[in-house]
Amino acid sequence: MSYKIKKAIISLSDKSEIRLLLKTLKKYKINILSSGGTSKEIKKLGFKCTDVSKYTKTDEILGGRVKTLHPKLYAGILNMRDNKNHKKELKKNNYDEIDLIIVNFYPFEETLKRTKNHNKLVENIDIGGPTLVRAAAKNYKYTTVLTSPHQYKEFILDLEKNRGSTSLELRKKLSQEAFNLTAYYDSVISEYLNNTNNNHFPQKKTIYGNLVEVLRYGENPHQKSAIYSKNNNLDIFQLSGKKLSYNNFNDIYAALSISRTLPKNNGTVIVKHANPCGVSANNNKIQSYKEALACDPISAFGGIVSCNFKINKKMALELNKIFLEVIIGLGFDKESIKILKKKKNLRLIDASNLGEQSLINITSHFNSLFLQNADNKIFTKDNFRVVSKIKPTKKILDDLLFAFNVCRNVKSNAIVLSRNSSTIGIGSGQPSRLDSCKIAIDKMKKFQKISENDIIIGASDAFFPFVDGIETLVQNGVSAIIQPSGSIRDKEIIKFADKLGIILVFSKTRHFKH
């Protein structure tokens, strides 16, 4: 079903490619209504248009806040062309049908990136634009609505194909895109206002995102998947290699979450299946990679390496020695890219422009959404309490905090063993904390050379409910342990640690990761 387009409203903040539109509208003798800056631009380009205020015989008021909110416009858009009563009412009021709406909104989201000035942001909340779009989208059976320059070419082709009309199929598609846009636009505003009131869990919650890419598949080939971003693109940039998969992205962000907690321009993280299999904060870049790799070189095969620094030629040559799926760096120099690109499938990810970590994490199950604050608390010594008789040196305390920081990024139950701010054994994802201890110990014994003088650190993401976990660690060389407090047996644990002659530090916070 098609209806010839005779009259259009154009109101644009993004006036790119407007000339292309105007030439087509002129070709099909479509009359244009416009206002403000759009009206001036149309006339400047040499095309005719009628100002909305002249058409409605009502001046813009309130400094331009009210200019398109008029029954003559909305009756023209919303009338059902095959409804006799609607036709009579239009005729009675001397209203014309309006068949095409070309509108984009005040750039609220772009303004939000540039300023924190609340008044400026409020003035960039569009009212008339979304109202016009919603009206046209509701009446898509008869009315065409365009909300982005990306739609212009498809519209022009359809208009030409139908000799001045548009197909119902296109109008329905454009309607769906219009409602997606108005929902997105309101969601951005809603989140901004919620954040200004520190209301992260409002009664009604909307989540928005821009499609970045439809992925090859999800975790498995039979699952469909896509990645969205709150920006128009991701803050990470792929320099080369195969297309990223769902699992790749999951691992990349797991690695970056740890890298962001390491000292600036320092440290290496290796991840496999979203769990770290090696982390080092050694300030020697090459050595940090070697120590992270040494923690579990078997698991690292086919894994993801995140270097919390710019990758140079020397580092690239080292990374090229084993099979890796992804290498992340805070930039790459030309020589390193040349070396690493020789492996055509190897993905290189530049994370130098990565923004701040999300404040809220979102997961879903069945028809429920779970929201929680991100566990990205920056540790300070005030968060911890030395409870053993033996006190740690500054270096040992720093090593304890390093191990505990890694531990919170390991799937629960989590145990991390470290030495000199490099992991030497990681036990993850076990229902029993004691089993996680045994896995971490087995990894350490398999891949590390331990001397009698080594100070081995043990970290647990939650408290040990019994002394058996601590006993197992100490029997295998651990001499300093960090864990959250909160067990009814905390006093028993402290007493046991003193009996064994080890350092015990309690954290005020627990750090499960499920």
Digit-coded pLDDT (tens) for 325-346: 999 999 999 999 999 999 999 9
| Mean pLDDT for the stretch of residues 154-160 | 94
What was the pLDDT predicted at 36?
A: 83
Structure tokens at 263: 């000292």
Condensed to tens digits (0 to 9), the pLDDT of residues 441-458 reads 999 999 999 888 899 999
What is the pLDDT of the chain when averaged over all its residues? 91
What was the pLDDT predicted at 405?
A: 93
What was the pLDDT predicted at 511?
A: 83
Q: Kindly report the CA angle at 205 between 101 and 132, in degrees rounded to 5?
A: 10
Residue 409's contacts (CB-CB under 8 Å, 6 or more residues apart) are 254, 257, 258, 261, 276, 513
Instruction: Identify the band that residue 324 occupies on the pLDDT scale cut at 50, 70 and 90.
Output: very high
What was the pLDDT predicted at 45?
A: 92
Condensed to tens digits (0 to 9), the pLDDT of residues 193-205 reads 998 988 888 898 8
Structure tokens at 254: 């797991």
Which segment of 14-18, 99-103, 117-121, 253-257 scores lowest on mean pLDDT?
Answer: 14-18
Distance (Å, whole) CA 34 – CA 139? 20
Marked catalytic residue, from 86, 173, 200, 273: 273
What was the pLDDT predicted at 189?
A: 93
| Mean pLDDT for the stretch of residues 478-503 | 92
Distance (Å, whole) CA 93 – CA 397? 81
pTM of this structure: 0.85
Distance (Å, whole) CA 468 – CA 475? 10
Residue 168's contacts (CB-CB under 8 Å, 6 or more residues apart) are 1, 2, 140, 141
- State the pairing for strand pair 7-11/268-272: unpaired
Which of the pair, 251 or 2, is modelled with greater confidence? 251
Instruction: Identify the band that residue 5 occupies on the pLDDT scale cut at 50, 70 and 90.
Output: very high
Q: Is the pLDDT of residue 314 over 90?
A: yes
Which segment of 120-124, 213-217, 509-513 scores lowest on mean pLDDT?
Answer: 509-513
Which residues, in sequence order, are bridge partners of residue 7? 31
All domains of the chain in start order, with CATH: 7-196 (3.40.50.1380), 236-350 (3.40.140.20), 381-507 (3.40.140.20)
Which segment of 223-227, 256-260, 450-454 scores lowest on mean pLDDT?
Answer: 450-454
Contact 400, 480 (CB under 8 A): yes
Q: Is the pLDDT of residue 355 over 90?
A: no
Which segment of 33-37, 117-121, 258-262 scores lowest on mean pLDDT?
Answer: 33-37
What was the pLDDT predicted at 464?
A: 84
What was the pLDDT predicted at 281?
A: 96
Which residues, in sequence order, are bridge partners of residue 31? 7
Condensed to tens digits (0 to 9), the pLDDT of residues 81-104 reads 889 999 899 899 989 999 999 999
| Mean pLDDT for the stretch of residues 464-489 | 90
What was the pLDDT predicted at 401?
A: 94
Q: Is the pLDDT of residue 232 over 90?
A: no
Alpha carbons within 13 A on the beta-carbon side of 438:
7
| Mean pLDDT for the stretch of residues 401-422 | 94
What was the pLDDT predicted at 367?
A: 83
CA dihedral (323, 328, 334, 338) in degrees, to 10, reads 20
Closest CA to 441 of 405, 463, 471: 471
Establish whether 67 is a catalytic residue. no
Marked catalytic residue, from 138, 173, 310, 341: 138
How far is the first Cα of the chain from the last one, in angstroms, to the nearest whole number? 53
C-alpha pair distances (Å), 228 with each of 218, 246, 258: 14, 12, 22
What was the pLDDT predicted at 415?
A: 96
Query: Locate tokens 């003088």: which residue?
Result: 453
Q: Three-class SS of residue 217?
A: coil
* Range of 34-43, 351-360, 364-373 with top mean pLDDT: 34-43
3-state helix, strand, coil in the chain (%, to 5): 40, 20, 40
Instruction: Identify the band that residue 509 occupies on the pLDDT scale cut at 50, 70 and 90.
Output: confident
Distance (Å, whole) CA 497 – CA 484? 14
What was the pLDDT predicted at 143?
A: 96
Quickly count: other Cβ atoms within 10 Å of residue 40's Cβ.
Answer: 13
DSSP 8-state class, residue 200 = S
- State the pairing for strand pair 268-272/304-307: antiparallel
Alpha helices in 320-417 (DSSP H): 334-340, 394-407
Establish whether 222 is a catalytic residue. no
What was the pLDDT predicted at 490?
A: 87
Which segment of 64-73, 114-123, 157-166 scores lowest on mean pLDDT?
Answer: 64-73
Q: Kindly report the CA angle at 261 between 246 and 372, in degrees rounded to 5?
A: 60
Percent of the chain with pLDDT over 90: 68
Which of the pair, 294 or 67, is modelled with greater confidence? 294
